[in-house]
Each structure stands twice: as structure tokens, then as C-alpha cells.
Amino acid sequence: MKILHIEAGRNLYGGALQALYLMQGLAERGHDNALICPAGSELARAAAACAEVSPMVMGGDLDPRLIPWLHRHLRKHRPELVHLHSRIGADVMGGIACRLAGVPVVHSRRVDNPEPRWIVALKYRLHDRVIAISEGIGQVLLAAGLPAEKLRLVRSAVDRERFDRPCNRERLTHALGIPARTRPIGSVAQLIERKGHRFLIEALPPLIGEFPHLRVLIFGQGPLEQDLRRRVAGAGLTDHVRFVGFRDDLPDLLPCLELLVHPATLEGLGVSLLQAASAGVPIVASRVGGIPEAVRHGYNGLLAPPGDSRALGTAVATLLRDRGLTRRMGAAGKELMRREFSLDAMVEGNLAVYRELLAEVAHKAP
């Protein structure tokens, strides 16, 4: 089988990382991949070993020139089907190009923000199958009018073995300057509004009063960084909160956190939650979107209402007070990832959608 993948993201996390994992798994199973993605992106470099990579020419999310450009590449690669991994232009422009070329098309939906019913009716008419990466996303799509026969569920996954390792505290101290006596907790997310960092910052003063050695490591980059830094400084928390940016050595650092906090107000599933659970780190997160599928309340973490800083702080304090509970939840998270979020399950789930669609196309052909 030959699959053409289209991903407009430049950085190797989120949907782009899932696309890479999928292409690697498909290549291992003997399938051929072609990939269209931004020139010079991290994904382009990483995927060169498992896909024929073509650099994307794109002037914006709704650049109409993308349609004829993609159409030419469809004729060049001649895939049996196309998988659209990105909402950034590729979902619409890629869908139109595939329709013009008569190629079956699958679209992965990775976010849970609602869309108007008229957009859902028009946009998803371009796609033969829509893969939701969580049940939460699937429910949002169905509520907006997506036909149930188009929807399939294939959860995201992570490379568990990269994160399932013992904590090397010297590495944490060397890389980030975190003293041994401190109690590190972390947040791993883009610094954007819907990730809810401000609710974590609001929850910190009483936590630091009870746990004076607490240190909060904020991993990630984004447009809200300066605003969040001002909030931290304004609350007098500079000594307790450190912005550490995007880290390539996250698999080494994550196992040393006592817990991960993810106070998002919208979240399709949350790859950082899967990474933390794989590392044996218990999680405090919001009860929104697909998060309850990755964080089972009372099993591998605790859930709080979105936007409720007090409830968030209470959940964090509950885990910080009980190291035995955090150990049990950490072990449960590892088991959950092994059981339900493996890379093999993700690859086989996507393959099942491909095979079903191609069989349907063959059945309809004269």
C-alpha cells in the first residue's frame, strides 16, 4: 500500500510526531510512505528514513495555490490514499486536491474545539473518513453533525520505552540547575491560552506555603510566555517557577517530576499526558475533551473542573502529601499506556481504516 501523508506543522511534537510514528510503523510493515511537509522542518528531517519527502510550498492556512500544487504531487506520487494530518490548510486544501484527483482521503482530527455545523457540513464532505484521536473529539464532531459512518476512533500513542526509565536526579540538576532538596513538578505544553497555565500559577501561592521546596518547571514555547512570566513575577513566585522552553532531553527529565499538571481548557487528548504516564508520573489535569481517557481519575491521576484554580491546587496538594499514592498512580499510568496507548495499536488502528476505505472504493468501482 502507498500512502501520501500531508502535515503542515513544522515542529516535531503533537500531530507531526504522531505522523512520524505512524509512517515508521507503516514502513516496518512493508508499506510505502510519501510525505508533504514544510521544507526544513524537523519532521522532514526525521521522516527521511521512512518516507519520500517533498517540501511543502504554502503561503498561509487558506492559500488557494496549495490546491494545484498538491494536485501535481498526487499525480507524481500516485498514492492509493491520502492521509491529512493537519488542520493548518491541509484539511481543506488537501481535501479539495484529493477530490479533484479522485484519490480516497482520510483526515485525522486532533483538537476538540467545536466548529459551526455549516463548516462541518462543508469541510468534512471532502473526507472519506475522519479519525478522531479520542472519544471526546468524536463526540464534538458528532454533535456538530458529522455523519457517524465517517467517524473512526484511533487514539494517539507514544514511544513508551523512551520515557519508561528511572529518574537520574543528577541529570535534572545539571540540565536545569534544580537542587536535590527541591520537589519538582511540571507542565509540558505550548504556551497558549487553551493550555491553562494561568490557572496553575493562580494555584501556587497556598501550595508553596505548605510545600516551600516546591519548584514548578514549565516546559514549552509559545506566544504567552511573556504574559505568563509577568504573572509569575507579579505573584512573587519567581524563585519557585522556571520557564525551561522546549527540551530535546524531556525523556531524561520527565521521570524526575513528582507529578505533571495540565490545566487545559480544551484538549483533544494530550501527548504530554501519555509521556508522563509512560514515565510513571502521576497527573493532575482538567476534566475536558479527551483528557479523561488518558488520566483516569483516582487511577493514574486526579481531575479538576477546568478553570478552577482552587480545585486544581487541592488535587496537587493531595498528591504531594501522599508519596505512596503517587507511586501507585505512577505504576498504574505505565500499565494504562501499555494496555491502551501503544504505538502498535495506533498503527494497526490507522491501517484498519485504510483497508476498510480501500475495500469500499474497490467495491464501488465498475
Digit-coded pLDDT (tens) for 110-123 = 988 888 999 899 99
Domain that holds residue 97: 2-157+342-364
Q: Are residues 214 and 271 in the same domain?
A: yes
Tens of pLDDT, residue by residue over 54-66, are 988 766 667 777 8
Q: What is the mean pLDDT of residues 238-262?
A: 94
Residue 153, beta-bridge partner list: 132
Tens of pLDDT, residue by residue over 140-165, are 999 999 999 999 999 999 999 999 99
Q: DSSP assignment, residue 187?
A: E
- Helix ranges, the chain (H): 14-28, 42-47, 66-77, 95-101, 117-123, 135-143, 160-163, 169-176, 197-210, 225-234, 250-253, 271-278, 291-294, 309-321, 323-340, 343-364
Nearest one of 146, 112, 143 to 129, comparing CA atoms = 146
pLDDT value at position 322?
Answer: 97
| Residue 327 neighbours by CB distance under 10 Å | 12
Q: Are residues 234 and 324 in the same domain?
A: yes
Q: Are residues 227 and 312 in the same domain?
A: yes
Res. 88: pLDDT tops 70: no
Q: Are residues 15 and 136 in the same domain?
A: yes
Tens of pLDDT, residue by residue over 217-242, are 999 999 999 999 999 999 999 999 99
Q: Are residues 127 and 213 in the same domain?
A: no
Tens of pLDDT, residue by residue over 209-221, are 999 999 999 999 9
Nearest one of 315, 305, 321, 258 to 284, comparing CA atoms = 315
Q: Are residues 317 and 168 in the same domain?
A: yes
Are the C-beta atoms of residues 260 and 163 closer than 8 Å to each other? no
- Which CATH number is 138's domain given? 3.40.50.2000
Q: Any idea which residue has 510513571 for its cell? A: 280
Res. 320: pLDDT tops 80: yes
What total of structural domains would you count in the chain? 2
| pLDDT over 90, % of the chain | 77
pLDDT value at position 80?
Answer: 96
pTM of the predicted structure, to 2 decimals: 0.87
Q: Are residues 132 and 181 in the same domain?
A: no
| Burial profile 47-61: b = 16 or more Cβ within 10 angstroms, e = fewer | beebbebbebebeee
Tens of pLDDT, residue by residue over 165-219, are 999 888 888 888 888 889 999 999 999 999 999 999 999 999 999 999 999 999 9
pLDDT value at position 59?
Answer: 64
